[in-house]
Structure 1
Amino acid sequence: MKKILLLLSALTLAIGLAACSSNDDAKTEKKEEPKEAASPKVDVKKELVKFYMDLGNKINAKDADLNAYVAKATKEDAKPEELPTAEDRAKASESAAAVDAELNSIQVPSELKDQKADLEAAVKDYAASYQAMADELKKDAPALDAADETFAQAEEKLGKVFETAKLLPPSLGKQVN
């Protein structure tokens, strides 16, 4: 008799566990279905960083002669033969114009549609900065202060977009120089 009661208890326990287990599976499946049906969520932070890195890489691909000119022109205690030549200035101007053209062709990714207007404004200022450099470098005594101010405005605009996404504002100037 004890064996029969023990068997019945074990059977009841097994049926009870099986019933609870299948009930939990059904609830889990129902909870997972809406997640699969919803569109994938965009990681805005990741997309912003990707956009920023791409922006810097595109500038760096075109600004080697400009950076070489600036390095020579700003070198302290430079000897006369170390100062930039008219040829260096012409190459720097072409380099700045190439960066301007590259920046004008940049498209903000669709994943950043909420930040698109602000990002386009920043890129427009960056492009204007490089165009101002290109124009100024065509002169015998170029002054790049106005171009630097426009670049700083672009940095500020880009920084605000990053801060809105709870990211630290980047410095494109450090990445491209």
Structure 2
Amino acid sequence: MKKFWILLSAITFAIGLTACSAEKEEAQPENKESEEAAKPAANPKSVMYKFYMSIVSTINEADADLNAYEGAEEPTPEEKAAASESAAAVATKVEGLEVPADLKDQKADLETALKEIAESYKMKSEELKKDAPAFDAADEKFAQGEEKIGAAFESLEMNKPSLAKEL
């Protein structure tokens, strides 16, 4: 009789396992599109911060000569020429940046900011070709771009960054 009960419980256990494994297979998505749809959307604050840091790093990669010129007490003509090239390089790099798709609500402000920042570096590059360069207009243009970035941050309830301090 014990053998009969052991056999019966083994059969019941096997049927239970078969039923459970069939349910798990049905619960798995059929294709990768379902898996992608199930993924949570990217956190816009995180995307914004990463994009902002890419702006900072892009500018910092190319503006060393410009910073050296601006920090020098009596810059040489060679430093001035290198600073002009540096500013032009920054403008080109900033123009090449693209706003992430996850920031669609902030895209207009960010694209305008990138254009204004690039324009400010172009203006500095042109000013450095003059005998007595003046950066007031370029600095004003940069501040406008920085303000647009701040507006994009505030739209996500984030604190406004200071791009000028990062550079």
Q: Is residue 87 of structure 1 aligned with residue 78 of structure 2?
A: yes
Decide whether aligned partners of structure 1 residues 63 and 37 sit closer, same or farther in structure 2, where only a CA change above 3 A counts: closer
Over aligned residues, Cα RMSD in angstroms?
A: 1.5
Q: Which residue of the partner structure matches residue 45 of structure 1?
A: 45
Q: Where does 1:22-101 land on structure 2 (aligned, <5 Å)?
A: 38-73=38-73, 83-101=74-92
Post-superposition offset of 1:41: 1.9
The CA deviation at 1:50 is 0.3
Letter in 1 for 2:107: K
The structure 2 residue matched to 1:127, chosen from 118, 124, 138, is: 118
What's the % identity of the aligned pairs? 54
- List per-residue Cα deviations over 1:67-115 (Å, max 9, x = no partner): 0000115xxxxxxxxx001111110000000000001111111111221
Query: 1: distance between equivalents of 2:153 and 2:107?
Result: 12
What letter is aligned with 1:60?
N
Runs (5+) with no aligned partner, structure 2: 1-26, 28-35
Matched, 1:112 2:103: yes
Per-residue deviation at 1:42? Answer: 2.0
TM-score normalised by the chain length of structure 1: 0.72
Matched residue type, 2:40: P
Gaps of 5+ in 1: 1-28, 30-35, 74-82
| Gap change, CA 1:111 and 1:98, over 3 Å in 2 | same
